[in-house]
Each structure stands twice: as C-alpha cells, then as structure tokens.
Amino acid sequence: MSAPLLRVTDLSVEFPLVHGVLRAVDGASFDLEAGEALGVVGESGSGKTMALRAIVGLLPRTARVTGGSVEFDGVDLLRIGEDARRGLRGRSVAMIFQEPMTALNPVMRVGEQIGEGPLVRLGYGRRKAHERALELMRLVGIPDPEQRADAYAHELSGGMRQRVMIAIALSMEPKLILCDEPTTALDVTIQDQILKLLASLRERLGVSIVFVSHDLAVIAQTCQRVAVMYAGQVIETGSVGTVFREPRHPYTLSLLRSVPDVDDVRESLSTIPGSPPDLASPPSGCRFHPRCPFAQEDCVEGAFPLRPLRDGRATACIHPDLAAEDVRREPVIAGA
C-alpha cells in the first residue's frame, strides 16, 4: 500500500504560561489518504484547530510545536525551513478559515484576491489571473462572476464570502485543503450548500480535505473517516459509518448520545457530566475518566495511546467492550 498523503504522528503543541505550560495538542496522530475527506471532531478546546494550524505553520505567535512529525507527500513539514513551508502553503496545502470577513482583505476586490496566488506565485499575467479568478468563481457557484469579481468582501453575503474563500483555496490547485469550521457562521441552508460544494469539489478534483468541526452531522455529511479529539489527544479513529454507529470510546459515545434526535422526543437532552479538563494540569491516566460512566480503577493511571481494532479503526480506551455493550443495549443510530 502507498503511504498516506498526510501522516500526523505524536504531534504536540504547547503554550508557555507563567507557571508551566498548556499543552493544546498532546501526542495527536491521524492519517489522510489521497482524495479522502477526514473529519476532526471534538468539544471546543479539544485541540482541533491548533492541530490544523500546526500542519501549515500558522500557529499563534506564542505557541510552539514541541514534538511529533507532520509528513505531507513524503516531506516532514516540521523539519523544513520556513521559506520551504511558505512555498507549500497555497500551492500544495491551502486553508479555509472559519470567518471569511477576518480572512479576506477588506480593501481588495474579491476577484483580485482569488487571482493573487496565480499572479504572484504561478507567474500568470494579469489578464490570465483574472480569467482564472472568473473560472474559479463559476466553479464554486458564484453567480454573475464578471460583476461579483469587482465587489469587496463586505458587499457579499456570508455564503458568497465563503465561496470566495474556497475559490482562493483552489486557485493554485493544492493537493490538500484544511477546513477550520468553515460553515459555523452560516445559516443552515447556506451551510448545506457549502458542504455539498466541498464534497462535489473533492470528487471532481481529487483534492483531499481535513474538516475540523464540533458538529457531528457536518462530519457525517462531508467525510469518509473521522478522528475524535479530547483534551488535546486523538482518542478514536475509523470510518465515519463505523465510529458513529459503533463507537468504542466512551467519549465518542457520549458525544453521539448528546446529539438531539427529532424522532425521539425527551423532556431533557443527554449531556456529558463535568467539564473538559484544564490542559495546563490534565488528570492522570485517561483524561476522560473523571467524566466517564464506565471508568475503572486501571483508567486512572498510565498511558493510553490509540490501540488498533478490527476494520482499520483504533481507540485509546482500554475497555472498549463496555461502550460496545452499551451500544448493543441502546443503538446510537435508530434502527442500527
């Protein structure tokens, strides 16, 4: 078998504090095959966005990568210089941010922003770069691109601005696109349009996608595989269908149980007790054990790396049969 397009291994990202460090990502590992869409899901603060930004070297100024490797197309992005990494951004790896109004330049017309990469990085002339911008605007479903190309970001709707961001990401034909919750600020109808657009572009262009979200429904609609993060660590991986139907980590099971079901009317929704741990002083052993309904004595101490299970999936839980038994009693997905 060929090596995956992206392989993240034992990635750690820290923020220095006055007393100690905050480890936002702590030994996270996941793979992405060429042409595949991988969802990275978890509660706010679980380390999803920091892991994504570490891949392309766009971490906050005070953050630092303290361990691990990020191999993209056979090259460890953490071992090359900043100039080399900057050369890969846009051309090989592109990123779509959560809020386009803060990512787009407010004083440049959107057509110029879409064509900027080909103009500056690929050596296109201005006419050819403009034609490329119009081509991409049509590709992502922006109507009347000749007129919209002259608009500024504030003159477009949220959905149109996000389509502009996608066009920019595609402008230099990257192999990999990193999506940092790109539909969070959109209403449900526009969100569905953007998700369908991303899925269509992946199939048509063969681009690979890593999609960060806290919304399990978004991951289910967009991705083939999923990596679940908790307290800076990846605690379960596998195909979306298998993990969402038969979770083997209590945290994944708890997340799925907390999703409202329109066919199941209840007086109250299921919740996960307690709060996510302080990443500056995380609990020993399994980090989920203080909130886990199946916690055992041996969950309190030791290391809990991902352990391979059947069907290409893995879990960091040392008692995966307890989650499996709970799912057999009450399926996570109706009719399963």
Which tokens in the block code for residue 297?
């004595």
Asked if 165 and 177 count as a contact pair (C-beta separation under 8 A), the reply is no
Instruction: Check whether 336 has a pLDDT greater than 60.
Output: no
Alpha-carbon distances of 305 from 6, 10, 228, 249, 285, rounded to whole Å: 20, 10, 13, 12, 11
Record the tokens describing residue 10, joined without a space.
């034992």
Rg of the chain taking only CA atoms, in angstroms: 21
For 26, residues 6+ apart whose C-beta sits below 8 A from its C-beta are 12, 47, 231, 232, 233, 279, 282
pLDDT of 150-184, one tens digit each? 999 999 998 999 999 999 999 999 999 999 988 87
Q: In the chain, where are the structural domains located?
A: 1-92+176-190+200-336, 101-173
Distance (Å, whole) CA 159 – CA 162: 5
Q: For the domain covering 1-92+176-190+200-336, report its CATH number.
A: 3.40.50.300
Query: What percentage of the chain reaches a pLDDT higher than 90?
Result: 74
Calculate mean pLDDT across residues 31-44: 94
Q: Where does the pLDDT of residue 268 fall: very low under 50, low under 70, confident under 90, or very high at 90 and above?
A: low
| Phi, psi at 39, each rounded to 5° | -95, 135
Q: What is the pTM of this model?
A: 0.92
Average pLDDT of the chain? 91
Going by C-alpha positions, the residue among 225, 226, 231, 165 that lies closest to residue 198 is: 165
pLDDT in tens, 214-252: 889 889 989 999 999 999 999 999 999 999 999 999 999
Q: Identify the band that residue 335 occupies on the pLDDT scale cut at 50, 70 and 90.
A: very low
- The arithmetic mean of pLDDT across residues 199-227, rounded, is 92
Number of H helices, E strands in the chain: 12, 12
Yes or no: say if 214 and 181 are a contact pair by the CB < 8 Å rule: yes
